[in-house]
Structure 1
């Protein structure tokens, strides 16, 4: 079981590719470094993604952001894939076209996500549940400890569970999207429910797409999405 990348279970491929190349935020005219204009648009033209895109509100786990004409910020990943990101970190960078692509977002890495932290009355109990659910090992500690880490194999981000006196009262403003590694979405949902999760919302569709919202034993919402194999196969 793994955490999904990109935030949504199933973003439309054209929107996802465009976001990958340019980043999601538009820059106002006065916010762009001199000489940067046109770099992201050129990248989109090379990728064949410079046509207009309409807003799509059907993306699971939230609406897909709309795209508007105008200047956009190139993302690090997009610039790198387009051959516009230099191997070093000079103060001024120039892409293949000679355009200046320097900017504050090129100072990589700016910051890293070390842990995603959950509050709990019983951190050891819920950490054990997530360890079983994800197949990630628990860090040191026992039932008497106020903080228990569930460590992601291969490195950060880990999950941290900390003791608090109050209980959960409202919907989480942050949740995890999970994708099965070696089974289908539906098989994974059955396995997690058998472990103690609760079905909260079912967003599966007749063509096989969609996702399921479950609650962990503490009531924290999380989504189970289709596996990579299911996504590659497309709708049934």
Structure 2
């Protein structure tokens, strides 16, 4: 039996980096506001656990994105499929990522993809040339996390 999973990524600003990756991948930022309202009303969390981002209540230091076609829980907003969760941590990034995301372009549209990602706040690090097999770009998201655009 296959197991469910999510990729959790440490961040400095979970809401901002979730916005970047949602735009980069065409994903949706999860909306936990209904769950938050229920937890606040029941006294299970306090206002200090909540921030407002883009007009919605979110959990302080956490933001998630999900594939728009995957199922999700209507009450919590939590995706049940392809999902990235960003969580704020106190320490900064200190080295190369051991795990990274590859973003694939349509055939022949790598330059267009790279330009779009740069427009969202990504930066090019270096081009990797594979000769006849093609090339791709190593890039960084706005927090400095490496990823590849191919």
Give the number of equivalent residue pairs. Answer: 116
Q: Measured at CA, do residues 183 and 209 of structure 1 come closer, stay the same or move farther in structure 2, by a change above 3 Å? A: closer
SS at match of 1:177: strand
Which structure has the higher relative contact order (CA within 8 Å, separation 6+)?
2
Q: Measured at CA, do residues 183 and 149 of structure 1 come closer, stay the same or move farther in structure 2, by a change above 3 Å? A: farther
> Which residue does the alignment assign to 1:189?
114
SS at match of 1:172: coil
User: Given the alignment of the two structures, is residue 169 of structure 1 paired with residue 94 of structure 2, yes or no?
Assistant: yes
> Which residue does the alignment assign to 2:42?
none
* In structure 2, distance between residues paired with 1:221 and 1:137: 21
Matching residue within 201, 211, 227 for 2:136: 211
User: Given the alignment of the two structures, is residue 153 of structure 1 paired with residue 75 of structure 2, yes or no?
Assistant: no
Mapping 1:27-46, distance limit 5 Å: none
* In structure 1, distance between residues paired with 2:67 and 2:108: 19
Higher strand share: 2
Q: TM-score normalised to the size of structure 2?
A: 0.69
- Unaligned runs of 5+ residues in structure 2 are 33-51, 54-58, 71-80
* In structure 2, distance between residues paired with 1:204 and 1:195: 24
Note the alpha carbon deviations across 1:171-220, whole angstroms, 9 max, x for none: 00000111124871121011111211011121135657021110000001
> Which residue does the alignment assign to 1:134?
25
Mapping 1:74-89, distance limit 5 Å: none
- Unaligned runs of 5+ residues in structure 1 are 1-107, 226-236
RMSD: 2.0
